[in-house]
Chain A
Amino acid sequence: RVSSDGKPPKFQPPPKPVIIDRRTQKEERRFLSPEFIPPRGRTDPLKYYIERKDMIQRRKVFNIPEFYVGHVLAVTTADPHASDKSKRFVGICIQRGGKGLGATFVLRNVIEDQGVEICYELYSPRIQAIEVLKLEKRLDENLMYLRDALPEYSTFDVNMKPVPRMDHEDIPVNKLQVRMKPKPWSKRWERPKYNIKGIKFELPEHKMKAAQKWSQPWLEFDMLREYDTSKIEEKIRKELSEELEK
């Protein structure tokens, strides 16, 4: 480099390295089971507080793992009529419903060409173990359309080994587009009220356009339907973490 005065060029210190602390960024994403969030209503919050105490008590004794709709779970329940006094069922979780102690989840599997769905209660004392076999989220919160999809999408091996998890972050999202059986379906899944992204619709264009007639574009702007749960979630998360550490 040619200097202006014949002196050596001014010392330029090297650029400071930009440190991105990934640990603080990762801690932001924490899972709160949806049954802890109280629904909107005029009930006394004391009732939800007492229910949460019971739920925490149960979670201390029995481990309920973190799972979403789309995970493949194996559930062992106690059964007085079975020979081993316990039953094991493997299936994909298609729906999580209910709030508080009555929270449920539905597992679906196809066994010997017969589709079977079982609705389990998360806090029922009959459940002896819940194992997560495969972790993957799907594009939708509700996979009820698997009933009208080809059976290969709902079959899971009963003796499946648990898939080992790579990182302790970022549950992978499976962008699978499911192929359906010919119509009629149990529900008209192409209608915008279900807002399903995980189906590969092979319907003709005019049918898809006709389904948009039932769309309600004003719903997302309706202020009376807004339910902001961020502050409630923060409080409940704090409460949970304090209680579970005891």
Chain B
Amino acid sequence: MMPIWTKSGEKHAVTLLKVQDCHVLRYVSKEESGGKTAKLLVGGKNVSPFSKPESAHEIFKEAGVPRKQKVTTFNVTDDAIIKPGTPLYAAHFRPGQFVDVTAKTVGKGFQGVVKRWGFKGQPASHGQTKTHRRPGAISTNKAAKVYRGKKMPGKMGNIYRTSFGLKVWRINTKHDIIYVNGSVPGHTNCLVKVRDSKLPTYKDCNKNPPFPTFFADGDEELPEDLFDEEIFQFTDPSVTFA
């Protein structure tokens, strides 16, 4: 995470996400998958092929791509279908866009009810016998049972969670890095899924994005760094208020 300053001098915290060897692996049509839209399977981050059996390598061999650590699905409209085997780059996103980021949260292991669900526990003194962080009562007398989904101790973290509506401040095309506003679930160097935001406020936010994706054919020459309009770039002199 890094600080970033706007032209008016305000500071925002920003998370760096690296797009590492992402390729489109397979196209699944609407009828095949049984959903409402077609799907594209995308894999990220190359990994050694020797730790999995040959049967697991079929998808990667069809696309002509080394084995990937994680394969995810993206729901795609028919006009945004991409041929399997195309690499995906950070320039697929543009600064000023809004984005949802999904990842597995940091695993905390088996945790008690105070940390996991935020229960208040019991007082430290005034006669409490061996009861300081326990849940207390779990149901009423009339119910005569414990309801399903009752908040109790258990394994906490290591589940998929999404942060919605994060602004993209800056994109580095040379190293394929996306600078995303705020914090993102997961530990450092964990795998993360970045999608266009589904929030209704940001529905019309994308002004001329690269559609269906940014192909590095050599037609478009993008500068090494793409900045949002409001960012203070370090090549400018210090901020002054008129």
Binding site for B on A (CB under 8 A): 41-44, 46-47, 50-51, 54, 57-58, 61-62, 78-80, 85-86, 100-102, 121, 123-128
In the bound complex, what is the Cα–Cα distance between A55 and B175 (angstroms)?
18
Show 13 residue pairs from A and B whose CB-CB distance is below 8 angstroms, ordered by the A residue: A42-B189, A43-B188, A43-B189, A44-B189, A47-B16, A62-B237, A85-B241, A100-B2, A125-B9, A125-B236, A125-B239, A126-B238, A128-B240
B177 near A61 with CB under 8 A, answer no
Nearest chain A CB to B128 CB, angstrom units: 32
When A and B form their complex, what is the total count of cross-chain residue pairs whose Cβ atoms lie within 8 Å?
A: 62
| B193 within 8 Å of A (CB atoms) | no
Interface size on B, residues (CB 8 A): 22
| B45 within 8 Å of A (CB atoms) | no
B188-209 CB mask vs A (1 if < 8 Å, else 0) is: 1100000000000000000000
| B48 within 8 Å of A (CB atoms) | no
Nearest chain B CB to A87 CB, angstrom units: 11
Interface SS of B by simple majority: loop
In the bound complex, what is the Cα–Cα distance between A125 and B5 (angstroms)?
7
| B172 within 8 Å of A (CB atoms) | yes
Chain A: CB-nearest residue to B6: A125
| Chain B positions within 8 Å of A46 at CB level | 18, 175
Binding site for A on B (CB under 8 A): 2-3, 5, 9, 11, 16, 18, 172, 175, 177, 188-189, 232, 234-242
In the bound complex, what is the Cα–Cα distance between A170 and B174 (angstroms)?
42
B236 near A42 with CB under 8 A, answer no
| Chain A positions within 8 Å of B177 at CB level | 50
A128 near B238 with CB under 8 A, answer yes
| Chain B positions within 8 Å of A126 at CB level | 9, 238-239
